Chains A and B, each alone.
Chain A
């Protein structure tokens, strides 16, 4: 370590601004920090954090976790049924978004979606008895994340539903359900007849067609497709227009060759073409696959999942096992469809923040400047958001590039330490569901992952690493 007295003094000023001014006035080199107390002023957690800064065990573990994350090449392999694909799923299991939650505490849209899923499975014949069944304890509710799955918004996956299969050469698998399109949809808590008939159409018409198309093309490499979509103005969370189009281009010919009747093929093509979010669920599964590869590295402070159940926001951290660190889910700052306002909105909901966890969505906002308008910002705010996120990540993607930032890689691999140290909460692009069951989507906007989850994780990691 070089002596303080040799070489040029260069000062980081933490606290009183006048000291930085004095150093400058005397011709010294100084940078002044916009410092605020870390961990919302919890001095104990702040000290736990300090013990983890530049910790050799964590630095090494994070390098391993981050490299593992970068190394994954997710491929869209096919389509299958949830009950067949998920070994831990029983006949009476429903998966939901976010950290674990029991029926009584679930938010309106999640209860609505569960009501719909029960009707869809035929376990009940009307909404009232479906709700009674959900409350009776006969159905197991478990997070999607506990079954290698991710689902947007309410994220309900029932045994009969078709799932996307995303896998890699190392034999990893991640799954997501199908995107039903905008408007009244199960994921936003709607469960009326059109919702249920669309779900049945997805299961009986769309899924088989896609299954045969995918077997004909032999899988779709997802990273290059997503990278291209970023260059075309998507952030592959709240904007999937380009990615959906690119996927359709890959599948169109195979769909035609799939020997399905032409009216059915045109129905399928119309559905995909008319749903700009068609790719979202695939994007989520790809991100889940990449992040799962980084999970379970002892000592790593890298976030491997962010997910919300509409009541709680939860994160999982590579070095901290299967634990969830949770805080109240926040409100979404956004724009509403005509006739709706913030007063109607459910709190932050869905597994889709897995995209931000992987460096996409809000973290890649620079690629999709239009997104920032949800909160009245400018294109410059979009690039600023991506640059700020770099302050809380371990590195940058080697594949996903942000043209507006000179093709810099997407900031990836959230470090719980950096979040707590800077107070910069991960930014998330998201949809807004109506707070009541059955209504559906009412808007979209931006929200933030609550700092409290990260503070808990830092404290837990400190405990883990303490001698």
Chain B
């Protein structure tokens, strides 16, 4: 096997540089071994031992020695040329530019360069979320815990830790908040103003804040509590703290509370607490017994629309009223015999719950995957049945899939299936705008809506499409842009969920 040797006189290179070049040259085709070293006694001994050099070499310790063993003399010559190039290139190849920024990997690490941080927004997978929240609390941060799949035990632990430290934990499973005008999670762009909201329901808060915004009434803050906060085990821990926060906030003049029906004793505790603030309170506990929310200073709202309307009135110093806005006029669709039923396909869980409550009290045979009021459980969540209201954000639909507010595919497919059912008279749906939601939901839905019309037409039917957009003009998706697109596609538009339900009721009664 041929070998080659070259000495570069009086040339010093660091041993690490030389090893690096040796490794590169040694990896060339046709080269078996490559060694670039300073020709010190120690290095020469090593090379002798590896049988790479003879006993005598004419090189001093200040000389650079290159020794190669290769398959052919040509390969060795080529390798020497490359080694020379590497030795000259070496000096010029240092990296340029400023040191790359190091991204923070943990909350504590982030705080080193972000000491002003005061809230952690946590949306990790559920199994890690409680630990992140606990760290945040221990480091003095308020927490919004967007993640779900956090155990009740961990929720209790976190809320105790928070209360002990005077910190707020919004969540777990808290989808929406607006703090000092900044949207957190799924939230809309609404003007700032006198109404403070504390809610155990994300879409419920989106409905109330957007309706207030559209009425020109601003929101001070909207604090989420997580869906389980008003259950007996948690006792409304976050809701009570949120009320305190809103009570102490000078900007907040009216307080709106939103929840599905709380445990009775929790409702009493929360309302007593709210009443004690002295600020006018609107309580919208969807589905709660009417007498459970009676308090002086507390106005009970039966729907989210009503809550927004009452809060707007109170904020303007007017008495709250139960009279809700007239529904807009719309052409009643012509129907064929057998077309009897409503199918509602919701992306917002609270909308579905509210609609089910409202409809089941006035119409028989109402089914849902999240039954409320007098409604029944759907036999198969994937199929319509009489009047069927489906929350497509339910676990059974989102497992391994993005939420329907982000990804419209599941709902579009379901629209076509419902349209093909000869018993369907009307399809109801929500469109939720704001940060976190799809960038252009109407565009995403239009092809499916067109297809619905064609399917019905081919069967000689008409299916009424009823929808509402939960959002504001200032949202990234633009309210009027979305509404116009839907209207042009033949959708009968309501301004709120409750109004949409009233319009649907007229259609199925006709």
Contacts and interface: CB of A to CB of B under 8 A. Distances in A.
A5 B249 contact: yes
Contacts of B106: 33, 35, 38, 418, 421-422
Interface stretch (B37-45, B283-291, B342-350): B37-45
Interface in A26-65: 26-29, 31-38, 41, 43, 46-47, 49-51, 53-55
Interface in B218-247: 220-221, 245-246
Nearest to B98: A380
Contacts of B181: 26-27
Contacts of A18: 436
B362 interface: no
Interface stretch (B71-79, B107-115, B370-378, B423-431): B107-115
Given A22-B436, A338-B52, A387-B102, A11 B117 contact: yes
B139 A33 contact: no
A11 B121 CA distance: 7
B99 A10 contact: no
Interface string A9-27: 1111111101100110111
A77 B153 CA distance: 58
Q: Is the interface of B mostly helix, strand, loop or mixed?
A: mixed
Contacts of B119: 4, 9-12
Given A10-B114, A373-B20, A421-B109, A383 B141 contact: no
B248 interface: yes
A422 B116 contact: no
Interface string B337-368: 00000000000000000000000000000000
B17 A370 contact: yes
A343 interface: no
A418 B17 contact: no
A34 B23 contact: no
Interface residues on A, range: 35 or more
Interface in B120-158: 120-125, 127-128, 130-132, 134-136, 138-142, 146-147
B42 A7 contact: no
Contacts of A43: 127-128, 131
Interface string B28-65: 00000111000011100111011010000000000000
B118 interface: yes
A247 interface: no
Contacts of A29: 116
B488 interface: no
B165 interface: yes
B19 A374 contact: yes
Contact of A34 (B34, B104, B165): B104
A50 B182 contact: no
B42 A274 contact: yes
B16 A33 contact: no
Contacts of A8: 116, 180
Instruction: Point out which of B125, B138, B245 has the most chain A C-beta atoms below 10 A from its C-beta.
Output: B138
A53 B111 CA distance: 13
B30 to A, nearest CB: 15
A337 B180 CA distance: 62
Given A26-B181, A47-B130, A418-B108, A2 B100 contact: no
A79 B108 CA distance: 45
Given A31-B110, A335-B20, A12 B125 contact: no
A10 B116 contact: yes
B23 to A, nearest CB: 5
25 contacts: A1-B167, A3-B245, A10-B117, A10-B119, A11-B184, A12-B117, A12-B121, A14-B121, A22-B187, A26-B181, A26-B183, A31-B114, A35-B124, A47-B134, A53-B138, A274-B41, A335-B20, A335-B23, A337-B50, A374-B20, A378-B94, A380-B99, A388-B102, A422-B105, A422-B109
The list of the 5 closest CB pairs from A to B, nearest first, reads A15-B123, A338-B35, A22-B435, A34-B103, A378-B95
Interface of A: 1-16, 18-19, 22-23, 25-29, 31-38, 41, 43, 46-47, 49-51, 53-55, 181-184, 274, 335-339, 370-371, 373-374, 376, 378-381, 383-384, 387-388, 391, 418, 421-424, 443-444
Interface of B: 14, 16-17, 19-20, 22-23, 26, 33-35, 40-42, 45-47, 49-50, 52, 67, 94-95, 97, 99-100, 102-114, 116-125, 127-128, 130-132, 134-136, 138-142, 146-147, 165-168, 179-185, 187, 189, 220-221, 245-246, 248-249, 435-436, 476
Given A18-B436, A36-B105, A38-B131, 17 more contacts: A1-B165, A12-B110, A14-B124, A26-B189, A27-B182, A33-B105, A37-B128, A41-B128, A46-B128, A182-B42, A338-B34, A370-B16, A380-B95, A391-B102, A418-B106, A423-B105, A444-B19
